[in-house]
A and B are shown apart, each in its own frame.
Chain A
């Protein structure tokens, strides 16, 4: 029997390969994801270990209000330089060296910021005349930066933008762009760049000056005396540290840094794996369907085996064995295809602005095990139903002409079962979405399983829906295609189960694409509504990347522009109140002239009345902490100081996002408490409003601030929505994988159908159907199937979007009609593409041979 199964598989190579494709792609996604993230993790791990190689202990600044610095884009507050002398005096310390780390943009010859592809623009200090014992950097060429006009830059930027030692390059630290002479080109931890991040290195005094950190330090590297272990050293240092400093051994620091990047990479990993999961889920549909068709076509063969003494169990085993072999073969192929896909995924991320470092490709055992296990298991599970149906083939089918598979015992309950499944699935999703007190993992699990069950239920129901849908959607085919069109419609309807399963695979991909497009469109509408209600000024000043905070100097530069009446920005930082991390914002009294919010308590005048200790809070925050005007609130700053504040007003933020944090104080107070105040956005009023002349004047004033740009209200909206569009496109690309798999499903079904209808096609040709008409017939059937997929998928996607939208309290729900029309057109095109190969095979049939085909 084993031999029969294996030989049978070899005898149906094309079918086996077409079946395998679905799993190959899904497994490749999984293995590719692991290879990519493992490789990046390994690269980071090596870098950090090298960086802290000679350091026994590291003292670094930390934010008092954050548990984990990597959760914030704000730099921690520096500690006093005086700590260095104290550390040097400790008995266990052999050597200690202070350093500065911050962010500084490099500016290219074109006057524009050199992009770090989403990575931060790193800046460090060096001691050019020391022994470089602690220095994590190595010189590739030139010398260490020395003096107020020299900089070292990373090798990646140098080679990418063709910079060499001796040339001039722009740097933005706190103020306008300054020109520096490149003294050297460096690498960090042996790599030319940390994930595309640019690096600017200055000598220590220059760094202190540039970043307003004279008398301050961000880190101290310590070497222990002979005989003192790093742990002992850490224990000796810890007691003398201020609140906003911490000490770790070099090894622990490297581990922590690795852990921080790994937790970020784990998110990317899970995100990509989810798409691999979706692809495999769709693949399971394709496999189940292909095997069902194959089994149906082998009815007589299976019955013959039964008459020769094969038991049901042997039949079951032979089908499962076949699936197992296909699954294993596909998984191995997918595993190695994943290596190539890892490169593809990386370029995909780079093109969406996420550039991650890579060293040697890491092909972990876990990747192999998971990929093979998941791929094979999914194939075998998908084969269960067809395999059990195969066991129900009665031996008597061996002697009956045109024997068909017996109808399942449960067939007449199928519609009821489908509806029950859908109801159960929706209930499960609602639990995941709305019920409180569940962990995030359980929540995601409930939503994921619920969504999968909805797809399953709709697929089960599809059998009932196919005849009317095909009849309706196939109507144009009968008009356009004549006899071929009418036959195509009939063919799509004659085996509803088969058409339903084929269309269902496409339904899943289309439903998910619809889900994200509806959510994104709702998000945009909400955001636009909120900007419309907030934005009172003429212009907005933001970072060129639309989201980074930018220096106050750029806003200050605008105040001198003739015609400007108001320049008012919003500062942002971290804080802690009632034991929890909060967002703190700082505003100037004139902010009300450029931003309008609704006031629950107080009025537009509140920002002007904040003074030194006044604050206003959002309505939600006030409610959850029982605050009202006149209440007092204590907010801890990152440097460890407690601000005693009094509530002056409560505002109701618009639903598309609040311009202010939980607690807002005056800029005066903010700038006094926060080391490096920056604006997240700044709004500008000008006499005459938005005019080309005004825009030109503002742009001219920003010439020295290439990290900033000016935008009118509509441009501002468009810019901010770019982030949504980028994410949306990324999701589309990733979901396209599952759509491609479902296309293979259509190809599969059509090829098998053509095979099955050989004699019928021969007859049609014999009675005068042309090859073109045969091809057209197959093509129309394919399009009808694809359209059924769209007709099922788009509504399911909208229903999912409604549920998810309710859960995340979306105020605006908009159906992006244009986009959905594009999806339908795409489905039609997909149907045409899927039909190319099967139609060609059908058209090529030899009439005589086809008629004699048994």
Chain B
């Protein structure tokens, strides 16, 4: 049953393979008159080495979609496959194993553990899985994120941007099949946010990391290879290689 055992974590899917596949997802909260349909039939594929942005106004269902894709929430109907495994039927234990091997997270509020220093936070997913970190990989990440001199600092001693860089390194350390980023710049000023976006783009370019990023900021979305626009629980538009103007145009039609 263990997903981890079947998969060689160092072997990445070939570029272009479908690594996340969602079919006809619906999600209903509550029941009766107060029921809310957050998703009303969403299907999508994410291919290896791709950076996909999910955009939409508040309440559009973009967060719900990401939670379901990442196995944090279950759809009311529909299926999600990650690296060929149907995840909506997995129990807690199986999901946990899947997360260890295939999923990385970057959060809006960083979610670092305050009592651990930079390096400990970064290698935490490996510590939890009982694995030894790849020293060279760790050094490269520290180098790339400019945290080499901050190895022994606690989160409280780091700036917001630095904290998010630690969080991204933490997500990359396991070389996950798919990395989910939830409003990664939502809690940062625009300059720092720009640096983070560069880092995210760079990790796709340099390491072929597959990323799904939820955002409501157009400048964040434009770094994506593909942008999915969501409104009222449905994917209403898809753009490839879009400019900021393109994005703003679509968004303005959505919110009106």
A residues neighboring B (CB under 8 Å): 1, 3-4, 7-8, 10-11, 300-301, 304-312, 314, 394-396, 398-399, 854
Contacts and interface: CB of A to CB of B under 8 A. Distances in A.
B96 A309 contact: yes
B93 interface: yes
Contacts of A306: 96
Interface of B: 63, 67, 70, 72-73, 92-93, 96-97, 99-100, 103, 105, 107-109, 111, 113-116, 120, 124-125, 127-129, 170, 182
Nearest to A307: B105
Contact of A308 (B108, B114, B120, B125): B125
Contacts of B93: 311-312
A304 B120 CA distance: 15
B72 A307 contact: yes
A309 B115 contact: no
Contacts of B182: 399
Contacts of A301: 111, 113
In order of increasing CB-CB distance, the 10 nearest A-B pairs are: A309-B100, A11-B115, A396-B72, A7-B115, A304-B111, A308-B125, A309-B99, A311-B96, A310-B128, A307-B105
A1 B127 contact: yes
A301 B111 CA distance: 7
Contacts of B111: 300-301, 304, 307, 398
26 contacts: A3-B120, A3-B127, A4-B116, A7-B113, A7-B115, A7-B116, A7-B120, A8-B115, A301-B113, A304-B111, A304-B113, A307-B70, A308-B105, A308-B128, A309-B97, A309-B100, A309-B128, A311-B96, A312-B92, A394-B72, A395-B72, A396-B72, A399-B63, A399-B72, A399-B107, A854-B109
Contacts of B170: 308
Contacts of A309: 96-97, 99-100, 125, 128-129
Contacts of A305: 113, 124, 128
B83 to A, nearest CB: 15
Given A1-B128, A3-B120, A309-B129, A396 B115 contact: no
Given A4-B116, A10-B115, A308-B99, A396 B125 contact: no
Contacts of A854: 109
Given A396-B67, A396-B73, A399-B107, A314 B128 contact: yes
A494 B214 CA distance: 35
B200 to A, nearest CB: 17
Contacts of A8: 113, 115
Contacts of B99: 307-309, 395
Contacts of A4: 113, 115-116, 124, 127
B163 to A, nearest CB: 11
B124 A399 contact: no
Nearest to A7: B115
B124 A11 contact: no
Nearest to A5: B115
A312 B91 CA distance: 12
B153 to A, nearest CB: 14
Contacts of A399: 63, 67, 72, 107-108, 182
Contacts, number: 74
A724 to B, nearest CB: 54
Given A3-B120, A11-B115, A308-B105, 20 more contacts: A4-B116, A4-B124, A7-B113, A7-B120, A300-B111, A305-B124, A306-B96, A307-B111, A308-B99, A308-B170, A309-B128, A309-B129, A311-B92, A311-B93, A311-B96, A312-B93, A396-B67, A398-B107, A399-B72, A399-B108
A310 B96 contact: yes
Select the residue from A306, A394, A399 with max chain B CB neighbours within 10 A. Answer: A399
B19 to A, nearest CB: 18
Contacts of A304: 107, 111, 113
A177 to B, nearest CB: 74
Nearest to B124: A308
B14 to A, nearest CB: 25
A399 to B, nearest CB: 6
Select the residue from A11, A304, A307, A314 with max chain B CB neighbours within 10 A. Answer: A307
Nearest to A314: B128
Select the residue from B63, B107, B108, B111 with max chain A CB neighbours within 10 A. Answer: B111
Contact of A398 (B96, B105, B116, B120): B105
Nearest to A396: B72
A306 B107 CA distance: 14
Nearest to B187: A854
B117 to A, nearest CB: 9
Contacts of B127: 1, 3-4
A63 B109 CA distance: 84
Contacts of B73: 396
Select the residue from A10, A309, A398 with max chain B CB neighbours within 10 A. Answer: A309
A469 to B, nearest CB: 33
B134 to A, nearest CB: 16
A756 B103 CA distance: 31
A714 to B, nearest CB: 67
A394 B74 CA distance: 12
A357 B180 CA distance: 73
A309 to B, nearest CB: 4
Contacts of B114: 11
B192 to A, nearest CB: 17
A395 B125 CA distance: 14
Contacts of A311: 92-93, 96
A11 B111 CA distance: 16
A365 to B, nearest CB: 36
Contacts of B128: 1, 305, 308-310, 314
A11 B70 CA distance: 31
A399 B92 CA distance: 18
B169 to A, nearest CB: 13
B80 to A, nearest CB: 15
Contacts of A307: 70, 72, 99, 103, 105, 111
A4 B114 CA distance: 10
Contacts of B63: 399
Contacts of A396: 67, 72-73
Contacts of A398: 72, 105, 107, 111
A10 B105 CA distance: 26
Contacts of B125: 308-309
Contacts of A314: 128
A854 B124 CA distance: 22
B126 to A, nearest CB: 9
Nearest to B115: A11
A66 to B, nearest CB: 66
Contacts of B67: 396, 399
A312 B92 CA distance: 8
A313 to B, nearest CB: 9
Nearest to A301: B113
B100 to A, nearest CB: 4
A63 to B, nearest CB: 70
Contacts of B72: 307, 394-396, 398-399
A10 to B, nearest CB: 7
Nearest to A2: B127
A3 B93 CA distance: 22
Nearest to A312: B92
A314 B105 CA distance: 19
B129 to A, nearest CB: 6
A297 to B, nearest CB: 12
A128 B129 CA distance: 84
Nearest to A303: B111
B63 to A, nearest CB: 8
A312 B97 CA distance: 11
Contacts of A10: 115
Contacts of A312: 92-93, 96
A433 B46 CA distance: 72
A309 B97 CA distance: 7
A396 B96 CA distance: 13
Nearest to B70: A307
Contacts of B109: 854
